[in-house]
Amino acid sequence: MAQNILFRLKFGSAVWNHWRRENPDVAIVLEDARLDGMILTGIDFSGAILRGASMHAANLMNANLSGADLRGANLEEADFIAANLRGAILTGANLREADFLGADLADATYSPDDLQGALHVPAPRHDRAGEPGVPGSASKETAMSAENKALVHRWFDNVWNKNLVATIDEMIAAQAIVHGLGGDLHGPSGFKPFQATFKGAFPDLSIRVDDVVAEGDMVAVRWSATGTHRGGDLGFAATGKRVQMTGMAFLRIRNGQFVEGWNNFDQLGMLQQLGVVPAS
């Protein structure tokens, strides 16, 4: 699979991005890939696993690397001008002379050593920096919170927007408990039917993360979603109606996995928009 993915990169960013839109369920795993000097302007690497990859002197201007895992990658002299690196994990990466002019590094995870020699690094936000204006001066606890935020962004993007069911097994602990979704759900096997039901009812369901607040092992999320009711998986015939939903979740994370979650979303409003329940 990795070789097939690498082959597609040879045709450029436009072809690659079209392929990703047509194949949203394909996980992008390019660990230890050799991408040195490649022209990847505007490439969609969101949520990609690029641990240990080598992208020395690669051109990633305007690229989307949100939520990407770049731990241990060689990014020396790479061009990240105006790139989206929100929530990316850069721990242990070689960023010497990498250019981040105009890049978005909000909620990205890195240390002071990782940024040595990097160019035009934007000042960090207070939520991931212990000292304003000093990149990477975050405490250990703040760094953990930032990494947990990145996990949450990746969860919503992969599980709901891209329908990557394998992410459920990866990110929900075997003994996890999920509350507030029609009774307690236990582990990945308990959550998968819920996810399948909603994606079956709303195949084009898209969730946007509006706010994320993290402290220690806890993350609070506020989200909004849109979708078209095209399936009967909720127990009644498809209406074809477009709905909007909002919700919140409190998540406890341990060792990169969700171990407990408390959820609340506007189910009543959803049913009223579908015409199943009369509007008050």
Q: What residue segments make up the domains of the chain, in order of their start?
A: 1-138, 143-273
Provide φ and ψ at 176, rounded to 5°. Answer: -65, 155
* Inter-axis angle of helices 2-9 and 13-22, nearest 10: 130
> Which of helix, strand or coil describes residue 71?
coil
Q: Is the model's pTM score more than 0.85?
A: no
Can you read off the two tokens belonging to residue 277? 């329940």
Strands lying side by side in the sheet with 185-186: 185-186, 172-179, 257-265, 242-254, 218-228, 206-215
> pLDDT tens, position by position, for the chain (280 residues)?
455 677 778 778 888 888 888 888 888 999 999 999 998 988 999 999 999 999 999 999 889 999 999 999 999 999 998 889 999 999 999 999 999 988 889 888 888 888 889 998 887 654 444 443 344 444 555 667 778 888 899 999 999 999 999 999 999 999 999 999 988 999 999 999 999 999 999 999 999 999 888 888 899 999 999 999 999 999 999 999 999 999 999 999 998 899 999 999 998 899 999 999 887 6
> Considering the domain 1-138 in this protein, what is its CATH number?
2.160.20.80
Handedness of CA 227, 232, 234, 237 (dihedral sign): positive
Q: Which CATH class is domain 143-273?
A: alpha beta
